[in-house]
Structure 1
Amino acid sequence: MTAAGAIVLLAFATLATLLVGLVMAAQAWSRRMDQREREIIATTRATAEQAAQYAAQTARLEQRVRVLEGMMQGREASAMPQFN
C-alpha cells in the first residue's frame, strides 16, 4: 500500500468514525428529548389535576361564604326595628 493509499484509508476511517459518532449523538439527543417530553406531559397533567382540585375547593368555600352571608342578612333583618 502506498502512502497516499494509507492516507485515503485513514481519512475514510476517520470520516466513518465521525459519522458513527454523530449518529450515536443524534440518537442520544432524540432519547433525551423524548424523555423530556414525557416529563413535561406528566408535569402538565399533575398541574391540571391540582388546578381542578383548587377550583373545587374554591367552589366549596364560595358556597360556605354565601351561606354565611345569608345567615348574616337574616340576622340583620331580624335586628331591624319594625315600624308599623
Structure 2
Amino acid sequence: MSDSSHGHTPAAWTGVIIAFIGFCVAGVFMVAAQPVGFWVGIAITLLGAVVGGIMRMMGLGQPKDTHPVHKTTEPGQRRPADIQA
C-alpha cells in the first residue's frame, strides 16, 4: 500500500483544497452567526467536488485501471487462516 498513488493527482489536490477553504469559510460564518456566509461556505465546499470531478474527466485524475481488483482466493478455496488445527 505504501507504493499507492491514490489521491496524489492535481484533480484530487485541487478538489480537497477548495473544499477545505469552503469548510473554513462556513466555520467562520457559523461562529459569527451569519447564515448567508455559512451557506456560501457550503457552496464553496461543494464546488470543490465539482471542480475535482471535472478535472478528473479532463484526464488530471488517477486512471481507473491503476488499481485492479486482487483476488486472494478462488471461489470455494479456503485460506490458511480459515483452517483450524
Tell me whether the two structures share a fold, i.e. TM-score over 0.5: no
Name which one, 1 or 2, has greater alpha-carbon Rg. Answer: 1
Higher relative contact order (CA 8 A, sep 6+): 2
> Counting helix residues as a fraction of each chain, which structure ranks higher?
1
